[in-house]
Amino acid sequence: MKQFILSLTILASFLTQLNAQIEFGVKAGLSSYDLANEGILVTNGDQDFKWNIADAGYGHHFGIYTRLSALGLYLEPALLFNSNKVSYEITTYSASGVFSTLKNEKYNTMDIPVIAGIKLGILRFQGGVVGHFFINSISDVVDIKGYDQRFKGATYGWQAGTGVDLWKLRLDLMFEGNFDKFGDHITIGGHNYAFADTPSRLMLTLGYKF
């Protein structure tokens, strides 16, 4: 990660020395998460839980970007508000029986992707790193006994994909992977839990150049 950030810094310096063109614009789009669904088992006193992901739904994002480009190369940082919603199926096993309920959790982050790429005609091929900075969450899960949310202040991932420039429009299709396991904010009875895999998502974004 540090080496990649250093490489982006060197690229930015190189483009600046070449009197690179600078553009500014806005972006908005949708994303679809691919989340692990093996579930997690939770033991909490006299109750056991099986916690599965029922539906990851769709997320949305919007914000601003700038692009520094020269000789077909470019560097594009952005500042994007991101919101996602996940539905959990929580099955409770206790002496009184087995009960299943659906719980929803919505969380908001400020995402800062820094993407480098090459432009060939109207097509672009690109990749980079992204930081997710936690803002807040709204959750139905908080009524579970012993549950506590401990979201990290920041998590990190990577993005890669392609894009098309048409007039002032900027269309991007990106795949994102993350370095932290999904659900690692779940704490019950003082014990930390997380799903088996790291989350990934497919992002479709439309931008407009000012």
Annotation: CATH topology of 2-35+64-84+107-209: Porin (2.40.160)
**Which residue, among 168, 159, 175, 174, has the nearest Cα to 112 in the 3D structure?**
159
User: Cα(13)–Cα(173) distance, rounded to whole angstroms?
Assistant: 27
Determine the pLDDT at residue 122: 87
Structure tokens at 41: 């088992």
Could you give phi then psi for residue 172, rounded to 5 degrees?
A: -125, 140
**Which residue, among 68, 39, 44, 43, has the nearest Cα to 54 in the 3D structure?**
39
Q: pLDDT per position in the chain (210 positions), as tens?
A: 555 455 555 555 555 555 668 899 999 999 988 776 677 777 766 667 787 877 777 899 999 999 988 888 899 999 999 998 888 888 877 777 777 888 888 889 999 999 999 999 889 999 999 999 999 988 877 667 777 777 788 889 999 999 999 999 999 999 999 888 777 777 777 777 777 677 789 999 999 999
pTM (two decimals): 0.82
Determine the pLDDT at residue 21: 84
Report CA 174 to chain centroid distance, whole Å: 11
For 133, 184, 194, the CA distances from 151, given in Å and listed in that order, are 10, 8, 12
User: Cα(87)–Cα(85) distance, rounded to whole angstroms?
Assistant: 7
Question: Residue 10, SS3?
Answer: helix
Structure tokens at 34: 């691919």
- Sequence spans of domains, the chain: 2-35+64-84+107-209
Q: What is the DSSP string of 124-149?
A: EEEEEEEEEEEEEEEESGGGSTTEEE
